[in-house]
Structure 1
Amino acid sequence: MSADALNLVGGIWQPSLAGRVAESHNPADGSVLGVFPDSGREDARMAVEAAAKAFNRAGWSQNPRLRQMVLLRWADRMEQAQESLAKLLTLENGKVLAQSRGEIAAAVSEIRYYAGLARYLPGHVFEVEPGCYSTLIKEAAGVTGIIVPWNAPAVLLIRSLAPALAAGCTAVVKPAAQTALVSAAMIRALHEADGLPDGVVNLLSETGADVASFLVESPDVEVISFTGSNQVGQKIMAAAAPTMKRLSLELGGKSCCLVFDDVDVAPVADALARAATIISGQQCTAARRVLVHASRYEEMKAALAGALGSLRVGNGMDEGVQMGPLIDEAACSHVESRIQATLDAADEVVLRGGRPEGAASSSFLLPTLVAHRDTGAFFIQEEIFGPLLVLESFEDEAEAVGRANHTEYGLSASIWTRHGARAMRVARALRNGTVWINDHNKLFAEAETGGYRRSGLGRLHGYDALLDFLETKHIYQDAGVVGV
């Protein structure tokens, strides 16, 4: 399957000015899927100029009805192509086809959600003195740079681009090289939607970081929306400081799952195994640590090892596969090295993963489960982006919360109990942006998500996601009073 991509700049699909291209590979078998432009700073300069020009025309930034209709038409086109998009996503990313189908469906839902909000950006007016009025209105912030990761490229593109467009911003999108083809296919669906002005959305792919660096440093880019590692997020913050641009950063997590003594262990273990291996463990909200009440610890250890060990690992396009490959050999080798270091340091190795025999490519890893007591261990603190799960025990609620909160991250967690009051008080005590009760990895367009501490800045999804792309303007007028 070939799906070659081009850049989109000022409404025109074109190759990189540098004349370079790169290949996109299927991580399941290493085959070449197509090529995409390997862009540079001059491409970025042209794209930002096109986005700024489009923003300065009031026909987009001040026309919420047009923005709504463009978003709705985009959603329709995405929905019509959802099966081909899902297959391309699985081929390029490696995730199981069912997960890709769910991701495309969620992306379509999110576009429609923000289409509805495009016509509801209310301000307010009040009379501060007799005849003197203060009007507060919401305005689009300007050109937005959107840097998209490879692990969930459909929904993570849409959760930034859809609210940016709904707010009236224009955008330059920089997808991950590993998933450049599916990102281009989604932007093509938007470009073909009736009514989208040229330059409102621009797309640049690259293998390096020249485009991303230009977006972060450019004084003509007002907002950066980035999802990725904490280390890269810190570099973006530092590089963006001179221009004081707005930042929306989701920077990873180390999700804890707190399992209390009143649960039915077997189904919870099955659910946690799926939560830990979603996108082969390459999701920032994936289950990383399982904290179990001491009275059920041994039972959970056996059940979780069985659930992880029985998962079918293979090509995401094959029927019945539950976990696909990691994104590429470089990522797989890095994760494998961190897991090996974990195996050497952990109190107990419950399930040893490693590379499966006879795999079509070298990007597959089987799930690993270790047990450990010290929460200061590197593999409990570090976000290892793959199928590694750490099992811990606790005696009571206070210890469970203390252990879970011993982390630099604060993105998500889950609580597993039949006791309603316990679930609520523990959820309130956890320092996480999202806490699920008797579930994990449930994300919705309507509900804001984001992290505490090193998990990032701002919120995505929900109404509050619009705030990263809006400015508040105060307009004062002394209109006087009749008869005075």
Structure 2
Amino acid sequence: MTTTDLIARHMIGGSYSDAGDKIASINPATGAVVGHVRADGAAQATAAIAAARAAFDTTLWPQSPRDRQMALLRWADALEADLARLAELLTLTNGKPLGASKGELGAAISEIRYYAGLTRHNPGHAMEVAPGELSVMLREPAGVAGIIVPWNAPAVLLIRSLAPALAVGCTTVTKPAPQTALFTAACMAPLFEDAAIPAGVVNVVFEVGHDAAQTLVTSPDVDVISFTGSNAVGQRIMADAAPTMKKLSLELGGKSCCIVLDDADIGVVAPKLAAAATIISGQQCTAARRVLVHESRLDEAKSALSAALQAVSIGDGMSDGTAMGPLIDIQSRDRVMRDCGTVYDTADEVVLRGGPLDGPKGSAFMSPALVVHSDPNASFVQDEIFGPLVVLETFRDEADAVAKANNTVYGLSASIWTHRGDASWRLARALRNGTVWINDHNRLFAEAETGGYRRSGLGRLHGFDGLLDFCELKHVYQNVGVVGH
């Protein structure tokens, strides 16, 4: 793929804009320039918000479910026809293996079609509250939705917000991460080019800093913010959005814990845990970060998990056989390495010392790390480190495992590994997490809601409930009387 002439431009009110600086998009596996992004800030966001507001207030988009369904289906068909090129662009800008990029795009296309099906079925309900007195509840689009998308899974994390927002009739302004902006622009291009979608319904602005995002969060003309990212940024969004009281959909950090019971086959489980820990090079909020193993199996778990992590094939995502690519950029890799340096100095045992790997100038490769630690309150056990670091801990019994797993401010996801069905369900019910997998990890579906307890976020994405964050519920009452009375 020849890509250096690619450029991502703002789309505002149906027209492209070249405003702002021309920023290089870098392949984190090679350091090569993939293309360029037009990056600007608050001015473009303000214009995009105005375009989205006008489209919501003056067009029939919010009242046209059949038109919205067909627009989503056309989008899905266009992405499917272009999947091979888009997958390459995703790998070139993000670094993940090409197979993972194809899988992510397949899941995203499936999700668009799922929400296209729901577009014509977003029902409220009605009741007769007293003789002749009717109360009708209608689900209506909330208005203008601001969607802030990270770089780690830019297809799925865009579409799981944008598709339901469009399905219910919102108009939208998307602010993607600059690292994968080229991919986002290509992914959204079929919407921009669809003449049947009114101008201003779908807008995108690119930036390197945070001015555009801040404008979306604080604007009184934005009714919903959907954000995926860190807990710290989520807290700032909540505070900055408070004066306008807008709806918030926040999926934030996680510290996913994998509980391995004493009956588990460690040799079988270890490679699966290694894969769960190194997904997107550990840069996924649901990635396996803590492994709690029964104390009788610790030595076996150390050996098997260390071997499994060392067996992960690291390299350019465009190369056959690569299971783990680079981190998103050198700055992120170096930050993770600094965090790991502190971990190595304080952990009870360093089983596998991860570190930077040689590669082309500008590449951001790192090998996985594994430590053993007994203090569940240690900072590196509690805090999210966004890279391939695994902390191995022990537990005595089920109650101890649950207490340690729940000893966190997060509550996004967890997994349980055992042959005992009763034990797996006891633990699943006791864990304070939005998603619990049994004998698996990182299994996400368009049909199944995802979200977190506690500081892992607000609301749910995916599934039918994914529509709710973009809707308002309106009660319409009328006393129509009763015939003959």
Shared fold (TM-score, shorter chain, > 0.5): yes
Which residue of 1 is the match for residue 328 of structure 2?
Answer: 327
* AA of the residue aligned to 2:228: T
Separation in 2 of the partners of 1:282 and 1:129?
Answer: 55
Q: Please identify, of 292-301 and 350-359, the stretch whose mean Cα deviation from structure 2 is larger.
A: 350-359
Amino acid at match of 2:457: G
For 1:7, the equivalent position in structure 2 comes to 10
Aligned partners of 2:359, 2:243: CA distance in 1, in Å?
Answer: 52
Matched, 1:345 2:346: yes
Question: For residue 303 of structure 2, what is the aligned residue in structure 1?
Answer: 302
Structure 1 length normalisation: TM-score? Answer: 0.98
**1:145 alignment partner in structure 2:** 146
Aligned mates of 1:303, 1:129 — CA distance in 2 = 67
Query: What root-mean-square deviation, in Å, do the aligned CA atoms of Structure 1 and Structure 2 show?
Result: 1.0
- Alignment partner, residue 182 of structure 2: 181
CA distance in 1, matches of 2:86, 2:191: 13
Correspondences of 1:254-293 after superposition (within 5 Å): 254-293=255-294
- The question of whether the paired residues in 2 share the 8 Å contact of 1:77 and 1:193 is answered with no
Per the TM alignment, residue 124 of structure 1 is displaced from its structure 2 partner at its CA by: 1.5
1:266, 1:21 → 2: CA distance?
Answer: 50
1:165 aligned partner, one-letter code: L
In the alignment, what sits opposite 1:388?
389
* In structure 2, distance between residues paired with 1:193 and 1:172: 17
Cα shift readout 1:238-257 (whole Å, capped 9, x = no counterpart): 00000000000011100000
CA separation of 1:75 and 1:358: change in aligned 2, threshold 3 A: closer
Tell me if the contact between 1:70 and 1:194 (Cα under 8 Å) persists in the aligned partners.
Answer: no
CA offsets, 1:173-208, max 9 Å, x none? 000011100000011022233521111000000001
Could you list the per-position Cα deviations for residues 42-90 of structure 1 after superposition, in whole angstroms to 9, with x for gaps in the alignment? 1111100110111113511011111110001100001011111110000
Q: Which range moves more in the overlay, 330-339 or 38-47? A: 38-47
SS state of the match for residue 7, structure 2? coil
Which amino acid in the other structure matches residue 183 of structure 1?
T
Query: Cα offset for 1:469?
Result: 0.5
Superposed displacement of residue 135, structure 1: 1.1
Q: Where do residues 5-404 of structure 1 align in structure 2 (5 Å cutoff)?
A: 5-16=8-19, 19-193=20-194, 195-358=196-359, 361-404=362-405
Assess if the C-alpha contact under 8 Å between 1:173 and 1:202 holds in 2: yes
User: How far has the Cα of 1:353 moved from its partner?
Assistant: 1.2
Is the contact made by 2:31 and 2:360 (CA closer than 8 Å) also made in structure 1?
no
Find the counterpart in structure 2 of residue 466 from structure 1: 467
Q: CA–CA distance in 1 between the matches of 2:361 and 2:325?
A: 11
* CA distance, structure 2, for counterparts of residue 123 and residue 265 of structure 1: 49
Mapped to 2, the partners of 1:275 and 1:62 lie a distance apart of 42
> Secondary structure at 1:153's aligned position in 2?
coil
Unpaired segments ≥5 residues, structure 2:
none
Distance in 2 between residues matched to 1:51 and 1:8, nearest whole Å: 11
SS in 1 for 2:77: helix
Asked whether the equivalents of residues 28 and 360 of structure 1 are also in contact (C-alpha less than 8 Å), the reply is: no
| Residue ranges of structure 1 left out of the alignment (5+ in a row) | none
Q: State which drifts further: 120-129 or 201-210.
A: 120-129
Give the whole-Å Cα distance in 1 for the aligned partners of 2:298 and 2:206. Answer: 47
Cα deviation, residue 389, structure 1 = 0.3
Amino acid at match of 2:421: G
Cα deviation, residue 132, structure 1:
1.8
SS at match of 2:291: strand
